[in-house]
Amino acid sequence: MNNIKRYLVTSALPYANGPIHIGHLAGVYVPSDIYTRYLRMKGLDVISVCGSDEHGVPITLKARKEGVTPQEIVDRYHELNKKAFADFGIAFDIYSRTSGKVHYETASEFFRKLYDDGEFTEKTSEQYYDEEAGCFLADRYIMGTCPHCGNENAYGDQCEKCGTSLSPNDLINPHSTVSGSKPVLRETLHWYLPLDKYEPWLKKWILEDHKEWKANVYGQCKSWLDQGLHPRAVSRDLDWGVPVPVEGANGKVLYVWFDAPIGYISATKELTPDWEKYWKDEETKMVHFIGKDNIVFHCIIFPSMLKAEGSFILPENVPANEFLNLENDKISTSRNWAVWLHEYLEDFPGKQDVLRYALCASAPETKDNDFTWKDFQARNNNELVAILGNFVNRTLILTGNYYEGKIPEPGTTTPGDDAVLKEIGKIKDNVETSLESYRFREALKEAMNLARLGNKYLADEEPWKVVKTDPERVKTIMNVALQITANLTIICEPFLPFSMEKLRGWININELDWNKAGSTVLLPAGHVINKPGLLFEKIEDEEITRQTEKLLATKKANDTAGSKATPSKDPITFDDFSKIDIRTATILEAEKVPKTTKLLKLKIDTGIDVRTIVSGIAEYYEPADIIGRQISIVANLEPRKIKGIDSQGMILMAEDRDGKLVMVTPAQNVGNGSMIK
């Protein structure tokens, strides 16, 4: 793409039903912020838009659960998240929301244009309807008995017990989780975007014209396109969202995935009356920053919508990141396994840049990555403090000691000085190359090399020694070191905006022009600097321990207090119960079933006979450890072939909330074959 006149940067709209955590920041907002700041510093025309995604079923259910309106839910998280972004210096030009008036108009117009152009197809289908609550039910809000395993708490889309994927019609005895009533099937009309129609040009546009996209993005698009695309519904039966702007479409709203990306357009409209320049001019370069869960929407569906509308440009790149784990475990809002931005700032006030740095340095750019507090501490102590902070500190202290804060006049430079000064420009170029190819980890490392260069220069030149013999020479040395420092304030600015602002204050300049980076006269001789402080401070072990203990407490809470027992099953007669023959037995032999991860083949003595049982406990018990253990079994269960082995019965296991299995063993050893009743 040549002739780029302006940039439009979008960052995934966070869903307004929870706070923002480090995973969001590392994957989307830190990279987008670095990129935006860099472009702005170059003096380019760039706007960065974001906002809250506030529609969809989960928000209505959360509202119902808390007894408030959906609007109250989204108001709460919109404000919280807006503030969190602002606190971390994420430099959006606007943080809008999809419940706003402009968005309603924009989304309606967009839909209406496609509708009038005949871009949608219509289809009537039967869906479950909750008569008591007066609403249609999304699959996962219907529960019933799983036809495969008999689990009575299976969801309409999947049984979590046996893992089978289901459709609501498969469920025995379905009931609504909203009102508890029995839903009925009802006909409903919806509009569909025929993605299959766009397949040919999508294939060309992505697979041929955008081979430069990141491997994870390109690969996922390719797999979608290879599988073939299908029409997707763009409307839903719901009372929370943008109403479908068509006669007789009462009670129908735009499906949230259709509505949300249009939020980028509405946000731009709110920001500037010139919004069309950014969305409809071929000389605008649009870049979407997202997480990997959003690839299909931003690379396939939204471009299809834009293409169908006809007057919009398409994204130039979609640098999606993978996911961030926390201390070796998936980040999870419901399990409270996360570092929340607002909590981080309470524990580490003023240390926004430290988190920004740690997250950028180990951002999940090419594969899922792990955030650990130990790594966070090491990044701070060994890199920010020891390399960057230390260089700045030694330079400024020496300048204070020798020249009372006045920049010395340089004399003749040595070839060594010249090489170092030239290196500044090279580092600047390297950072640019990395940033423009969305390699933020590399860019950051390269920026830090400038501080490394500075430390090495001081160590090589030893001004504290030379000052005793050749004070004139020291003036040149310190001038060079100061020019490096001034360059740091520009080159590190996109990554560490808070610290660099502080540093600019100390050296008393206000230069934010990226193009000036590489200059060796940013600080003119005679310029007076202010009294410096410490740019970063060490983080002690105790602070890290406090954080890991906090997480440990969360784990514990998840294990015990949070575990609510599932409701009891329907009553049975004593007769029913006595049909089950439960006995004690002893394990004689145990071995892993080859090519499986969970199965053990056990030979057990039931008192009646010696038989084989296959059991899914291999993840919790080593074969060698359980030989000789007494257990409980269901003795009269129909035999069943598992992995080709006849399994005669079933071992009783207690299963906790995480699915961990524990053997049910008599409190004292009793004879094999004793009845349990």
Partner RNA sequence: UGCGGGGUGGAGCAGUGGUAGCUCGUUGGGCUCAUAACCCAAAGGUCGGGGGUUCGAAUCCUCCCUCCGCUACCA
Q: Which residues bind RNA (CB under 7 A)?
A: 149-150, 162-165, 219, 362, 366-370, 378, 382-383, 385-387, 389-390, 393-394, 397-398, 401, 445, 452, 455-456, 458-460, 462, 464-465, 534-538, 594-599, 614-617, 637-638, 640, 642-643, 647, 650-651
Shortest distance in whole angstroms from residue 362 CB to RNA: 7
Positive or negative: CA dihedral 63, 21, 371, 287: positive
Between the CA of residue 672 and those of 580, 646, 662, what are the distances in Å? 17, 21, 20
Is the Cβ of residue 459 or residue 667 nearer to RNA in the bound state?
459
Which of 79, 66, 70, 100 minimizes the C-alpha distance to 20? 79
* Whole-angstrom distance, CA of residue 477 vs CA of residue 369: 41
Shortest distance in whole angstroms from residue 41 CB to RNA: 24
Length of the chain: 677
Shortest distance in whole angstroms from residue 596 CB to RNA: 4
Shortest distance in whole angstroms from residue 214 CB to RNA: 12
Beta bridge partners of 47: 8
Return all residues near 307 (Cβ < 8 A) that are at least 6 apart.
198, 201, 314
* Whole-angstrom distance, CA of residue 203 vs CA of residue 224: 10
Shortest distance in whole angstroms from residue 534 CB to RNA: 4
Is the Cβ of residue 385 or residue 435 nearer to RNA in the bound state?
385
Is the Cβ of residue 271 or residue 551 nearer to RNA in the bound state?
551
Return all residues near 5 (Cβ < 8 A) that are at least 6 apart.
45, 281, 283, 284
Is the Cβ of residue 254 or residue 451 nearer to RNA in the bound state?
451
Is the Cβ of residue 158 or residue 188 nearer to RNA in the bound state?
158
* Whole-angstrom distance, CA of residue 336 vs CA of residue 318: 29
Which of 280, 312, 318 minimizes the C-alpha distance to 296? 318
* Whole-angstrom distance, CA of residue 335 vs CA of residue 339: 12
Is the Cβ of residue 394 or residue 603 nearer to RNA in the bound state?
394
Is the Cβ of residue 234 or residue 398 nearer to RNA in the bound state?
398
Is the Cβ of residue 595 or residue 677 nearer to RNA in the bound state?
595
Shortest distance in whole angstroms from residue 670 CB to RNA: 23
Q: Is 448 exposed, middle or buried (0-12, 13-18, 19+ CB in 10 A)?
A: buried
Q: What is the crossing angle of helices 352-361 and 30-41, to 10°?
A: 100
The dihedral over CA atoms of 335, 336, 339, 341, expressed in degrees to the nearest 10, equals 130
Beta bridge partners of 633: 583, 651
Shortest distance in whole angstroms from residue 148 CB to RNA: 8
Return all residues near 194 (Cβ < 8 A) that are at least 6 apart.
119, 120, 121, 231
* Whole-angstrom distance, CA of residue 601 vs CA of residue 140: 36
Is the Cβ of residue 6 or residue 394 nearer to RNA in the bound state?
394
Is the Cβ of residue 39 or residue 355 nearer to RNA in the bound state?
355
Shortest distance in whole angstroms from residue 165 CB to RNA: 6
Shortest distance in whole angstroms from residue 518 CB to RNA: 21
The conformation of residue 568, written as its DSSP 8-state character, comes to P
Is the Cβ of residue 127 or residue 369 nearer to RNA in the bound state?
369
Shortest distance in whole angstroms from residue 152 CB to RNA: 11
Is the Cβ of residue 275 or residue 495 nearer to RNA in the bound state?
495
Beta bridge partners of 253: 236, 243
The DSSP element (H or E) to which 194 belongs, if any, is none
Shortest distance in whole angstroms from residue 380 CB to RNA: 9
CA end-to-end span of the chain: 77
Shortest distance in whole angstroms from residue 454 CB to RNA: 8
Question: Mapped to the 3 state alphabet, what secondary structure does 237-274 carry?
Answer: ECCCCCECCCCCCCCEEECHHHHHHHHHHHHHHHHCCC
CA gyration radius, the chain = 32
Is the Cβ of residue 159 or residue 238 nearer to RNA in the bound state?
159
Shortest distance in whole angstroms from residue 455 CB to RNA: 3
Which of 542, 546, 534, 490 minimizes the C-alpha distance to 385? 534
